[in-house]
Chains A and B, each alone.
Chain A
Amino acid sequence: MRFLMHRLGFFALTLWAAITVNFFIPRLMPGDPASAMMARFHGRVNPAAIHAMEIAFGVDDQQSLWSQYVGYLHNTVTGNFGTSLTYFPLSVSSQIAQAVPWTLGLVGVATVLAFLGGTLIGTISGWRRGGTVDSIVPPVFVVTSALPYFWVGMMMILVFSVWTNGALPNDGAYSLDVVPGFTMPFITDVLRHALLPAMTVLITSIGGWILTMRNNMVTVLAEDYVRMGRAKGLSSRKIMYQYAARNALLPNLAGFAMSLGFVVAGAILVEYVFNYPGLGYMLLNAVNNLDYPLMQALFLMITVAVLVAVLICDFLTAWLDPRARSAS
């Protein structure tokens, strides 16, 4: 219980830090972009847009910095991110709500698949130490995990889309001539569009999990309880999955939580390469259009998503590992 309380406290601390950084970045930058932006837009866009930026920046000339900060915290916590400048009369929240399912579906599923697949391959590789699998796996995946995500995406487009005369789509999340809805044609169309970006995330992120899991297995296999299991005459399969892999998995889970930031970075670029309408693609568009309210809200959303994933990992660790529950 103490472990979980501790992690929840950390969650709150990190969230607060991210929100605060978000508040101060526009103020600390040289030339005070927040004020400059407000001055630039005054008289040119309608008052509602100005108000949107006031909410996004928490800028209000009449108030002290402290009360601006408190007002900003309040707006953020209640989900009031103001109005998007690019998609003008629409609110930032509604824009984000449209992008979230695409990112969760693509990046979420691909990441979880990479983790599960990588853990399995790593388990086998570490178990058959020096076997055929193990002599190929480490060098190959050391190299694939050093590939830039966006370039792998571009290579996928080249090989499976350009060279095959468009056998697989490389642009967007679904074709414009298919009517969205829960129909078979639409679902297959979405899956076809998701295939290349998902493969990209999978190829570049699976190596890390394989290598960590393999090395964890090697370390765990030297433990006395594994030797004990062998001495008792347990089957290899049982020792491999229930003795070694279960224990090797725990540090891998912690590693999963810590590496999520890197996966998110890669996913943003993958969405950009494939024009996939998720959070990352929207973030880069917001940057190009100087849509500051949308940009700030997106950064917070991505941070919250990562923090929630980390928290889930913590809960899983607490559930799987009695030591984490009782200690500290």
Chain B
Amino acid sequence: MSASILAGTPAPGTAEVPRRSSRRAGSGMLAAVRSNSKAMVGALLLLLFVVVAALPQLFTSIDTPDAHAFELGLPPSWDHPLGTTAFGQDIYAQLIYGTRQSLIIAVVVGGLATVLSVIVGVSAAYLGGATDSLLSAMTDVFLVVPTFPLIIVIAAYAGKGSLLVIIGVLVITGWSYGARQLRAQALSLRNRDFLESARVRGERRSYIIVCEVLPTMTSLILATFLGSALYAVLTAAGLQFIGLGDSSSLSWGTMLHWAQSNAALQSGQPLWVVAPGLCIALLGASFALLNYAFDEISNPALRPVRRSRGKRARS
């Protein structure tokens, strides 16, 4: 839900509608990402993590990062750049192999939650009437009920969560903010001329929604995806940290869980805590930076003013 803050869109109802047509959006967006430094940094970070997640063996020669193979609690050295854990695992290798799970959770939860947001938000706006009232009320309830304690309670009953349980719970609790924003935008689109003309042409409702409404909303849908992915990264890490994840699987949150339960800070192994947390923060930052940049791209009013910078440079 921090996405809510990051997206920084004005209140629902005053939401800006991108004026570009969908056809120009594709090429324009790529160029816009390239010219926006925040977007570039975010995209490069994300690319790095994707490569590490896909090909971990390129980055480390250790292929069983879980095995208790080395001496316990070694300080950093040439063989172990970040030292070893209190169990004798190489911290750097764990970090590399842990990337995959964190990234999978982010992308899968982001994708599924976005689909759910689009379905609920757009149908609420487009169908209107009683359906709209019902769906909006549902969205609002999901929005304000504090989901994290709810997740903890559910996880406590369901037993320690496997990857699937975590993904399921995060999707169920993570769609509402996006749905609300998408509904606001779809609502402001509803009476546009191009939709009116499609209706007059006698197009089917499903065609209008999929081929006319959705392409116009590309940038907000992307923002929703990035926001949900950020939510997923942070919340999953929190759950794994308190031990509600699968504590035998390898991920950054689980690493922090073991570090905390072995009092790594107090026993002189700060790298065991610093490194995985920094990775979570960097992955989160890449989503957040992209999200913020997309906001600037789709809403020109927010873009940095270059003129005044030039002035300062001269003076």
Contact = CB atoms under 8 A, between A and B. Distances in A.
- Bind each other: yes
Interface of A: 10, 13-14, 17-18, 21-22, 25-26, 29-30, 33, 129-131, 134-135, 138-139, 142-143, 145-151, 154-155, 157-158, 162, 207-209, 211-212, 214-216, 218-219, 222, 250-251, 254-255, 257-262, 264-265, 268-269, 272-273, 280, 283-284, 287, 290, 295-296, 298-299, 302-303, 306-307, 310
A26 B242 contact: no
Contact of A150 (B10, B231, B241, B304): B241
Contacts of B304: 130, 134-135
B154 A151 contact: no
Contact of B4 (A25, A258, A269, A280): A258
B280 A151 contact: yes
Contacts of A257: 144
Contacts of B140: 10, 14
Interface in B264-315: 265-266, 270, 273-274, 277, 280-281, 284-285, 287-289, 292, 295, 301-302, 304-309
Given A14-B144, A283-B149, A146 B287 contact: yes
B260 A154 contact: yes
B148 interface: yes
Interface in B227-273: 230-231, 234-235, 237-238, 241-242, 244, 256, 260, 265-266, 270, 273
Contact of A261 (B148, B241, B260, B308): B148
Interface of B: 1-2, 4-6, 8-11, 14, 38, 137, 140-141, 143-150, 152-158, 177, 230-231, 234-235, 237-238, 241-242, 244, 256, 260, 265-266, 270, 273-274, 277, 280-281, 284-285, 287-289, 292, 295, 301-302, 304-309
Nearest to B148: A265
A33 B241 contact: no
Contacts of A148: 234, 237-238, 241, 277, 280-281, 284
B301 A13 contact: no
A101 to B, nearest CB: 19
Contacts of A154: 256, 260, 265, 273, 277
Given A154-B256, A262-B5, 11 more contacts: A13-B141, A130-B306, A130-B307, A135-B304, A154-B277, A155-B277, A208-B2, A255-B5, A262-B4, A264-B148, A280-B149
Contact of A135 (B143, B242, B301, B309): B309
Across chains A and B, which 8 residue pairs bring their CB atoms closest together, nearest first?
A208-B5, A265-B148, A151-B277, A146-B284, A251-B11, A130-B305, A262-B1, A215-B8
Contact of B144 (A162, A255, A310): A310
A10 to B, nearest CB: 7
A211 B289 CA distance: 12
Contacts of A207: 5
Nearest to B278: A151
A215 B238 CA distance: 29
Contact of A151 (B143, B256, B270): B256
A27 to B, nearest CB: 10
Contacts of A307: 144
Nearest to B234: A148
A146 B234 contact: yes
A294 to B, nearest CB: 11
Contacts of B244: 287
Contacts of B177: 258
A42 B153 CA distance: 23
A265 B146 contact: yes
A273 B155 CA distance: 20
Contacts of A139: 38, 289
A219 B10 contact: yes
A72 B2 CA distance: 34
Contacts of A146: 2, 6, 230, 234, 281, 284-285, 287-288
Contacts of A306: 144-146
Contact of A222 (B141, B150, B235, B301): B301
Most buried by A among B5, B141, B280: B5
B149 A302 contact: yes
A30 B158 contact: yes
17 contacts: A14-B141, A25-B157, A129-B305, A135-B304, A146-B234, A146-B285, A146-B287, A150-B241, A158-B273, A218-B301, A257-B144, A259-B4, A261-B144, A261-B145, A265-B148, A296-B153, A303-B146
Contacts of B147: 261, 265
Nearest to A37: B157
B301 A219 contact: yes
B256 to A, nearest CB: 7
A192 B273 CA distance: 24
Contacts of B238: 148-150, 265, 269
B14 A211 contact: no
A211 B147 CA distance: 23
Contacts of B288: 142-143, 145-146
Contact of B308 (A131, A150, A262, A287): A131
Given A155-B277, A298-B149, A145 B5 contact: yes
Contacts of B289: 139, 142-143
A134 B296 CA distance: 14
A26 B29 CA distance: 47
A261 B142 CA distance: 10
Most buried by A among B10, B143, B231, B301: B10
A308 to B, nearest CB: 11
Given A145-B2, A215-B302, A283-B152, A303 B281 contact: no
Contacts of A290: 156
